[in-house]
Amino acid sequence: MADATVDRRRLVPRTDVVLDDPRLAGALTRLGRPAVKAVVTAVQQRARAGELDPAGVVDAVVDALPGTAGGLRAVLNATGVVLHTNLGRAALSPAALDAIAAAGAHTDVELDLATGRRARRGRTALAALAAAVPAAGAVHVVNNGAAALVLAATALSAGREIVVSRGELVEIGDGFRLPDLLESTGARLREVGTTNRTSRADYLAAVGPDTGFILKVHPSNFVVRGFTRSVGVAELTGLGTPVVADIGSGLLAPDPLLPDEPDAATTLRAGADLVIASGDKLLGGPQCGLLLGAADLIEQLRRHPLARALRVDKLTLAALQATLTGPETPTWQALRYDPAALRVRTEKVAAALGAEVVPSVAVVGGGGAPELELPSWAISAPADRAEPLRRGSTPVVGRVERGRLLLDLRCISVDDDAALIAAVRSAGDR
């Protein structure tokens, strides 16, 4: 056994030999020698441990190298989850990607080119957001939805009370719970109602001189049914304190496809003083937190010292504006993909692979529309292909269901079909 281990190690190519391989020349230029060498070292270790044939070290290095020096690897999302949190939620539109590339250079993000003087940061992106939601008196953008809520709680309720229904004290993902987030700002929670039923009278009894605002939270990643009751935004107005509505998923206007999802425009018209939403969910934009509402409240938030720590960078502002003013986003297209057209496309790809097509169900994901099911189609493959597909040069992430790997093309561009076919074939050869 010891001899076999020694022999295997001797067969592993030396680092300098691997780095001199012509197949790595482009990566060395694109990523830099230290980054490529780190991948080589890791692959060599796998070969020494017997996880990989030493003859395949260079191929494995090529497969493992990221496409850019940023370290993140582009992934083909074949899960059927449109807003997959682990895959970065919304895929940006080509217009947004172009805007990010342009913003990577020196820009006029805080400069008025006409006067040569300092200008409001991200003014054109903010103007685009305001135009998208005319019901808002003013708008502001921070780095994510949780940050928007933290800013509102800090600026409006630090040392005071936030009145909120017990049924809306949700966990927002990765173990972060709304009560913990709010209490970290120095605000005190005044819980009203019960888990399943809360009335306007509950809020009325709790509001007093120590109230900072009433918080209305859309429980976007679950649904409670049965003996339930909740209070809408319109019923909460007139209680003598601001109403802050966290709608979560970032829908700016009503959408017939998503009748149960609250939207910013309707919520503001119902009387909310401030609406909070995420930019990287149903809006289909970059990660950011949107604040829309009464001009005096927005200005109070914008001028708060914490706003500086939560501000977005120029890349986010550029992507947000392009999302708001540009063409349909990949999120919008994936949600509305015609099942018949998707089936035809899926059968074509499956035929190239000699695979079977099966009915499937796609979902919104990302904490939005938890009960909405999207009729879909998927390529069925052996479950043991899942790991090789994830580890390939073009990573493909599907979902394993009932002992089969399902690959749903809903969230994959037609332009990537050839890459998907090549990846599946390569995974089958391993």
Last residue of a domain, one of 301, 327, 353: 327
Contact indicator for 196, 228 with CB cutoff of 8 Å = yes
Instruction: Please indicate, yes or no, whether residues 60 and 87 belong to a single structural domain of this protein.
Output: no
Spatial CA neighbour of 145 closest among 219, 260, 246: 246
Instruction: Please indicate, yes or no, whether residues 336 and 308 belong to a single structural domain of this protein.
Output: no
Q: Give residues with Cβ within 8 angstroms of 16, minimum separation 6.
A: none
Query: Which domain range does residue 52 map to?
Result: 2-64
Burial classification of residue 375, based on how many CB atoms lie within 10 Å of its CB (0-12 exposed, 13-18 middle, 19 or more buried): middle
Quick one: pLDDT at residue 72?
Answer: 81
pLDDT digits (tens, 9 = 90+) for 204-222: 999 999 999 999 998 766 6
Greater confidence, 325 or 30? Answer: 325
Radius of gyration of the chain (CA): 25
Alpha-carbon gap, residue 120 to 268, rounded angstroms: 25
Length in residues, the chain: 430
Contact indicator for 247, 277 with CB cutoff of 8 Å = yes
pLDDT digits (tens, 9 = 90+) for 353-411: 999 999 999 999 887 787 789 999 999 999 999 999 998 889 999 999 999 999 999 99
- At position 259, the amino acid (one-letter code) is P
Whether the CA torsion 277, 280, 285, 289 is positive or negative: it is positive
Instruction: Please indicate, yes or no, whether residues 21 and 102 belong to a single structural domain of this protein.
Output: no
Alpha-carbon gap, residue 222 to 218, rounded angstroms: 10
Instruction: Please indicate, yes or no, whether residues 115 and 221 belong to a single structural domain of this protein.
Output: yes
Alpha-carbon gap, residue 375 to 44, rounded angstroms: 44
Task: Identify the CATH number of the domain in which residue 216 sits.
Answer: 3.40.640.10
Task: Provide the total of helices (H) and of strands (E) in the chain, helices listed first.
Answer: 19, 18
Find how far residue 169's CA is from the centre of its chain. Answer: 22
Residue 71 in any domain: the answer is: no
Alpha-carbon gap, residue 57 to 325, rounded angstroms: 47
Quick one: pLDDT at residue 206?
Answer: 95
Strand 176-177 vs strand 404-408: parallel, antiparallel, or unpaired?
unpaired
Alpha-carbon gap, residue 57 to 45, rounded angstroms: 10
Residue 294 in any domain: the answer is: yes
Task: Identify the CATH number of the domain in which residue 369 sits.
Answer: 3.90.1150.180
Quick one: pLDDT at residue 3?
Answer: 52
Quick one: pLDDT at residue 6?
Answer: 54
Binning pLDDT at 50, 70 and 90, where does residue 195 land? confident
Instruction: Please indicate, yes or no, whether residues 33 and 102 belong to a single structural domain of this protein.
Output: no
DSSP symbols for 135-149: T-SEEEEESSHHHHH
> Terminus-to-terminus CA distance in the chain, angstroms?
25
Instruction: Please indicate, yes or no, whether residues 123 and 265 belong to a single structural domain of this protein.
Output: yes
Question: Mean per-residue pLDDT for 404-427?
Answer: 96
Spatial CA neighbour of 310 closest among 200, 130, 129, 150: 150
Residue 101 in any domain: the answer is: yes
Residue 188 in any domain: the answer is: yes
Provide the edge-to-edge strand list for the sheet that holds 81-83.
Answer: 81-83, 356-365, 368-382, 404-408, 399-401
Instruction: Please indicate, yes or no, whether residues 366 and 256 belong to a single structural domain of this protein.
Output: no
Buried b (16+ CB within 10 A) or exposed e, 123-137: eebbebbeebbebbb
Calculate helix-pair angle for 2-11, 33-48, nearest 10 degrees.
150
Residue 116 in any domain: the answer is: yes
Instruction: Please indicate, yes or no, whether residues 54 and 101 belong to a single structural domain of this protein.
Output: no
Average pLDDT, rounded, for the chain: 92
Residue 87 in any domain: the answer is: yes
pLDDT digits (tens, 9 = 90+) for 47-68: 998 888 999 999 999 988 877 7
Residue 214 in any domain: the answer is: yes
Instruction: Please indicate, yes or no, whether residues 84 and 127 belong to a single structural domain of this protein.
Output: no
Question: Mean per-residue pLDDT for 127-151?
Answer: 97
Last residue of a domain, one of 268, 301, 327: 327
- Total number of domains in the chain: 3
Quick one: pLDDT at residue 2?
Answer: 46
- Coil, helix or strand at residue 7: helix
Instruction: Please indicate, yes or no, whether residues 150 and 223 belong to a single structural domain of this protein.
Output: yes
- Coil, helix or strand at residue 15: helix
Structure tokens at 373: 């099911």
Instruction: Please indicate, yes or no, whether residues 42 and 152 belong to a single structural domain of this protein.
Output: no
Last residue of a domain, one of 327, 349, 378: 327
Q: Give residues with Cβ within 8 angstroms of 410, minimum separation 6.
A: 80, 82, 334, 337, 342, 362, 374, 376
Quick one: pLDDT at residue 7?
Answer: 66
Other C-beta atoms closer than 10 Å to the C-beta of 384 total 12
Instruction: Please indicate, yes or no, whether residues 132 and 85 belong to a single structural domain of this protein.
Output: no
Give me the residue label for tokens 């780190």: 38
Residue 69 in any domain: the answer is: no
